């Protein structure tokens, strides 16, 4: 296996957004949600290209007008027009691997997306990657669709090929019921070039539909660092599970048999929707782009501390807060609505 999934801090061509529209669950909240997407577009295009997946030509025209109004350079924006069910690009987006001997050679994997265990309709979203590759991908890239169900938010990988995930998600029978943990490890070694695995067995977020995606709980940073959410409120329903997760993280060892460096993120004050359902606010759901990290904030007293902690983990990056309160009202956050496309993905993307 000569190809390996790249860590998120590897050089990127672009970030992909799948834009919300009136035929999605965002319909009643578009007026509050679209400004967040526009803000993300502004930040991303400052550093690199942006790929926007638009449901139809009318939506493309609408998005173009919004970006123009925000004085965003449209030369930095590439559109893909294809029907979509929803907007969670992290989970329906492509997972791109680079040749370990030549990072200019990429393999674009299109894993199966089944709406987080057939909870939601996903037929259109499961066809997005093929359209992205056909319309934008460099001709030298190798595209392969796979029957295995896997979402980008369910896995993390570092520069050493260590893959981080949760047993609650990847071993859930609503994904790949016929695969054992050994089967899954074998497939991820084969396709993603994983060299080792860290299975997180504890931790969840109330209101999360993903069955405990790792990107809501623990993230990799360079130099054998783990960034994780820490709950300090003993009266919070998450306290016991997240304390158990923290203890497990402390037990993990690197290939050199040393502990990982741990950077804790603060626990945001509980947020609820109009029906009094708890929303899955987490500072771990940040996006790494070229030279910057975009961190979700929630108009919360702990926002500033979260930004400072992320800066510790990524000292070479500019840390930028983005108010994602409207996003968590659909039970996800910033990382969930984005997918990075590494250097060499786009045709004609010289910067």
Q: Which tens digits make up the pLDDT trace of 15-61? A: 999 999 999 999 999 999 999 999 999 999 999 999 999 999 999 99
- Judge whether 244 and 203 are in contact, CB under 8 Å: yes
Predicted TM-score of the model (pTM): 0.97
Local structure of 126: helix, strand or coil? helix
Band (pLDDT 50/70/90 cuts) for residue 349 is low
Helix (H) or strand (E) holding 313: helix 303-313
Q: Residues 248-267: what's their mean pLDDT?
A: 97
pLDDT score, position 172: 97
Rounded CA gap, 33 and 330, in Å?
A: 10
What one-character DSSP code corresponds to residue 74? Answer: G
Band (pLDDT 50/70/90 cuts) for residue 101 is confident
Helices 30-47 and 57-69, axial angle in degrees (round to 10): 70
pLDDT score, position 55: 98
Band (pLDDT 50/70/90 cuts) for residue 347 is confident
Per-residue pLDDT at 350 exceeds 60: no
Per-residue pLDDT at 1 exceeds 90: no
Rounded CA gap, 53 and 290, in Å?
A: 21
Q: Residues 172-184: what's their mean pLDDT?
A: 97
**Average pLDDT in the chain:** 96
Q: Residues 234-243: what's their mean pLDDT?
A: 97
N-to-C CA span, the chain: 30
- Judge whether 310 and 319 are in contact, CB under 8 Å: yes
Rounded CA gap, 16 and 179, in Å?
A: 30
CATH of 3-342, one of 3.40.50.10310, 3.75.10.10, 3.40.30.10, 1.10.3720.10: 3.75.10.10
Band (pLDDT 50/70/90 cuts) for residue 104 is confident
Q: Please state the φ and ψ torsions of residue 56, each to the nearest 5 degrees.
A: -160, 180
Q: Encode 171-240 in three state secondary structure.
A: CCCCCCCCCCHHHHHHHHHHHHCCCEEEEECCCCCCCCCCCCCHHHCEEEECCCEEEEECCCCCCCCCHH
Band (pLDDT 50/70/90 cuts) for residue 148 is very high
Q: Residues 236-247: what's their mean pLDDT?
A: 98
Local structure of 136: helix, strand or coil? helix
């Amino acid at each position: 296996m000569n190809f390996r999934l790249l860590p998120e801090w590897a050089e990127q061509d672009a970030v992909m957004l799948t834009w919300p529209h009136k035929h999605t669950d965002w319909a009643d909240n578009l007026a509050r949600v679209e400004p967040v997407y526009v803000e993300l577009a502004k930040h991303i295009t400052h550093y690199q290209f942006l790929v926007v997946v638009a449901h139809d030509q009318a939506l493309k025209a609408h998005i173009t007008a919004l970006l123009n109004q925000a004085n965003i350079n449209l030369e930095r924006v590439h559109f893909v027009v294809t029907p979509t069910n929803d907007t969670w690009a992290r989970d329906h987006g492509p997972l791109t691997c680079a040749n370990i001997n030549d990072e200019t050679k990429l393999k674009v994997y299109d894993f199966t997306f089944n709406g987080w265990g057939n909870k939601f309709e996903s037929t259109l979203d499961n066809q997005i990657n093929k359209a992205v590759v056909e319309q934008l991908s460099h001709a030298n890239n190798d595209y392969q669709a796979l029957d295995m169900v896997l979402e980008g938010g369910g896995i993390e990988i570092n520069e050493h090929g260590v893959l981080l995930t949760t047993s609650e998600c990847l071993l859930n029978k609503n994904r790949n019921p016929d695969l054992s943990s050994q089967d899954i490890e074998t497939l991820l070694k084969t396709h993603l070039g994983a060299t080792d695995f860290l299975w997180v067995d504890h931790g969840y977020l109330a209101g999360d539909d993903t069955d405990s995606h790792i990107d809501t709980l623990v993230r990799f940073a360079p130099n054998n660092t783990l960034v994780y959410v820490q709950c300090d409120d003993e009266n919070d329903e998450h306290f016991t599970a997240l304390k158990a997760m923290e203890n497990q993280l402390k037990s993990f060892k690197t290939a050199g048999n040393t502990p990982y460096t741990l950077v804790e993120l603060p626990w945001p004050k509980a947020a609820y929707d109009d029906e009094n359902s708890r929303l899955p606010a987490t500072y771990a759901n940040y996006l790494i782009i070229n030279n910057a990290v975009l961190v979700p904030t929630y108009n919360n007293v702990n926002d500033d501390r979260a930004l400072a902690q992320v800066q510790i983990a990524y000292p070479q990056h500019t840390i930028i807060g983005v108010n994602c309160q409207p996003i968590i009202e659909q039970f996800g956050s910033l990382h969930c609505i984005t997918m990075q496309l590494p250097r060499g993905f786009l045709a004609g993307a010289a910067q």
